[in-house]
Chain A
Amino acid sequence: MRNAIELDRVTKVFHPLVHYNAGLKSILLHPRKVFRSRRARPMLAIDEISLDVEFGESLGILGANGAGKSTLLGLISGILKPTSGSVRVYDRTWPLMELGAALEPHLSGRENIILNGVLLGMRRREVEARFDEILAFSGLEPFIDQLLLTYSAGMQMRLGFSVAIHADPTILLVDEVLAVGDAAFRKRCLGRIAELRRNGVTIVLVSHALELIEDHCDRAAWIDRGRLVALGSPQEVVKRYRYQVGQLPTESAV
């Protein structure tokens, strides 16, 4: 089987103060302090992770908050550049979906669908042709001409997710999008994800909903403080993770 995604010893370091938020005045008055703070301890977000994902496979990523899961997705999507190591993605045709998505609060829902669809790589006329389908999936018909800032977090996520899964992805990166949807929408999303899987779409799914990873992934990866600590069958990895975080008694106690 061909690989869709290949990560080879990928490391990502964030420099907290590359920003110089001190400003020119502090640089002039306290140059030493500013430049010392510039060398403040870098944050190792991803530490030498090597990982391959095959075409048509769906990989679940789990781990605590701040473990590096979203950074990893950012690296796969190309939004972030690795500090060292290499990220190879074949057939670079994916949307990345994140909670809250990339939506513009001062545009209407309708305008946001068009904007997002084009930013995800569709031609405008393709988005327009699929507009009714996207709208029906989102279930937001009554609100579609209102400004997005009037939408609740769940509604925004529904809009963003609906656009993304209609963008014909061959690789779909999903970052915890199912957390805020209501039960009916969640069911519709899972149905759609299952359908995409049957159609051979490669899926990388970040989620804290462990049963989601067990049910919808072929493999699971557990990330802890930027390191890949376990990779294997979802049941196995989820079980180990549950022991670790204390959701289950340890094996010796069973």
Chain B
Amino acid sequence: MRKTDLGYYYDLLTVLTHKELKLRYRGTLLGALWSLANPLAFALVLHFAFKRILKIDIDNYALFILAALFCWQWISNSLTASASTFITNASLIRKLYFPRYMLCVAVVVIDMIHFSITLPVYSAFRAVSGLPPVSSTWIVGIPALLVIQSLLILGGVLIVATMNAILRDIQQLVQVGLLMLFYATPILYPLSMVPEELHWLVLANPLAPLVVCWRALLLDGVLSPYYLLAAGYAAVSLTLGLAAYRRFSWRLPELV
């Protein structure tokens, strides 16, 4: 009997996630630790370049960077991986009838797991810098932002995965887009450094409110006023993602 209950979707998600994780770290020694090494190395370089050389006037700059960088890694890794999701699973898609969007959900879940690993690491960095390792606001803020971010990214992943099956240029476009967005999003600098009259422009970037919220939460332990905007972007992204998927997914077995 083909199952349609929630329990079945849970099983589907676990086996697909397990498969993706297995394939991603096939033949590596450190496995998932790489998801930690990557942003840490990046943060080290950024700290050196901006704090030591450009002498940016922000205290605890490494901590400041990491509060946004871990979240950025999740966005960037998911969107990059999504381009090949349907293509690398061509044999499953061509031969079995199952809800294919679950492959996209698996991509998001994998990077959410990786992101969750970075949170205790961030706490440790806080402790080393002389701050209390955790803040009481995290109990509310972290689950809320995890949900908002998952849905926001899922929308993007659905769009990129579906469109890239039709037009493989999307993959390259995503790389360029991510590079530009990295600087357009308040990661290296706080939103407060942006001139007031340009705030609307920065916040027009769907990723900006999310990153601002994460930094406020992780670094300062405060709940930023941008949760609603971030959730709004998540709703728009998911709506567009589902629309693209519903419109084009029937063609996937012919395209991949």
What residues of chain A have their CB less than 8 Å away from a CB belonging to chain B?
14, 18-21, 23-24, 74, 77-81, 92-96, 98, 100-104, 106-107, 111, 114-115, 118-124, 168, 170
Contact = CB atoms under 8 A, between A and B. Distances in A.
Contacts of A119: 12, 15, 92, 96, 98
A118 B11 CA distance: 7
A247 to B, nearest CB: 30
A18 B251 contact: yes
Interface string B90-110: 011111111000000000000
A120 B99 CA distance: 11
Given A23-B169, A104-B19, A79 B14 contact: no
A110 to B, nearest CB: 12
A123 B3 contact: yes
Contacts of A104: 19, 23, 91-92
Contacts of B199: none
B26 A77 contact: no
B7 A123 contact: yes
A95 to B, nearest CB: 8
Contacts of A123: 3, 7-8, 11
Given A93-B1, A119-B98, A19 B255 contact: yes
B97 A81 contact: no
B253 A80 contact: yes
B22 interface: yes
A168 B168 contact: no
Contact of B166 (A18, A77, A168): A18
B95 A118 contact: no
Nearest to B95: A102
Nearest to B23: A106
A223 B23 CA distance: 40
Contacts of A21: 168
B254 A14 contact: yes
B250 interface: yes
Contact of A106 (B14, B22, B251): B22
Nearest to A114: B15
Contact of A96 (B26, B97, B250): B97
B2 interface: yes
B97 A102 contact: no
Interface string B164-207: 00111100000000000000000000000000000000000000
Contact of B2 (A14, A74, A102, A121): A121
Contact of B15 (A106, A124, A170): A124
Contacts of B14: 124
Nearest to B92: A102
Contact of A79 (B2, B18, B22, B94): B94
Given A106-B22, A123-B7, A123-B8, A79 B253 contact: yes
Given A102-B96, A119-B92, A81 B1 contact: no
